[in-house]
Amino acid sequence: MSHLPYDTFRETLAIRYPHCGHALWDPSPEGLYDAVAVGDVGFIREGYFHRLFNVLLPEDHPSHINSGVPEYHQPLQPGLSNHIRKGTDGTDDFCSRHVSLSRGRNIQALGPDDESQVTVSCPGRRGALSSLPFPAQREDTVARGDFGKWMIKHIDQWFAFASNLGLGVNRMQDIILVTGRHCTKSWVNVAFSDSQRDAEVSFGAQVSGSSGVNIERRVVRGDAVLKLGPSGENLPENQCIFVRGFRVVRLLNIWPRLKGRAGPSTDADEHESTHDRQLESIGTSANSKILFTFCYSIFLKRLLVAIWLWFMMMT
């Protein structure tokens, strides 16, 4: 069991809030892109989302200047032109099991001159907290079927593109297609391992207006880890605390594909190349998995052929 703060943060919050998706320990884009958006393709490392490109945007979009796009990139056009559902999540404290929290006042109810002192503890257990001074804005596509089929069709190109960038992406299942996200203006993230009973953190938060906040670190005791979001006035809503989406997992490949492909796959060979892939959903039910084009008859035929070849080689 990992005791790294970003793993503890993600794993313990996923138990309590599986519908929210992957909890990001480091929600800031850190100047590399504007904000996580529906349609982004990227990967998560150490609790940070690394954006590569967006499937809904054309090749010459300004957001693609940094990494570019895969060869033969074509924007996805969902069946619905207006396919993104938006809303506000009123939760101010995303708190895992075993975490105890006490505060003077609700952060989101503070006046311009008010300050809230927050104390968080999790005696002898793993736990996490994401505290928000401002409500999070939620966006999700309703065209999940279109997104899933698009990912299955293009995952080979996306994986090759990511690998060639030299970012250390060496597994297909590391690639994520974003179908939803929570974004806010600031945050406080806390992670506890299960080794010390006296672990505790406290911080102060003072909200000014609808887009200003000052967050101060007060006490960090034991093996707790405290990470503070941005402070200041007129903060942009670009801090992504949860990301939802799809990833492709290859279930079984009897033997490697012998024929390389210079261009995009055609309909004729798409069926053959995607039969052993499962599309996993990030951010629905904890056990929810959506299966695309998994053809059991082809799988059994390949298995029988492999057994026959092995038998012929042994005789």
Residue 267 pLDDT: 42
pLDDT values of the chain reduced to their tens digit, one per residue, 315 residues: 568 999 999 999 999 999 999 999 999 999 999 999 999 999 999 999 999 999 999 999 999 999 999 999 999 999 999 999 999 998 889 999 889 988 765 554 445 555 678 999 988 788 999 999 999 999 999 999 999 999 999 999 999 999 999 999 999 999 999 999 999 999 999 999 876 677 899 999 888 877 789 999 888 988 899 999 999 999 999 999 999 999 998 765 533 333 333 334 444 344 445 556 677 888 754 334 444 444 444 555 566 667 766 666 665
**Three state DSSP letters for the chain:** CCCCHHHHHHHHHHHHCHHHCEECCCCCCCCCCCCCCCCEEEEEECCEEEEEEECCCCCCCHHHCCCCCCCCCCCCCCCCCCCEEEEEECCCEEECCCCEEEECCCHHHCCCCCCEEEEEECCCCCEEEEECCCCEEEEEECCHHHHHHHHHHHHHHHHHHHHHCCCCCCCHHHCEEEEEEEEECCCEEEEECCCCCCCEEEEEEEEECCCEEEEEEEEEECCCEEEECCCECCCCCCEEEEEEEEEEEECCCCCCCCCCCCCCCCHHHHHHHCCCEEEEEECCCCCCEECCCCCHHHHHHHHHHHHHHHHHHHC
Residue 115 has a pLDDT of 62
Domain ranges in the chain are 5-311
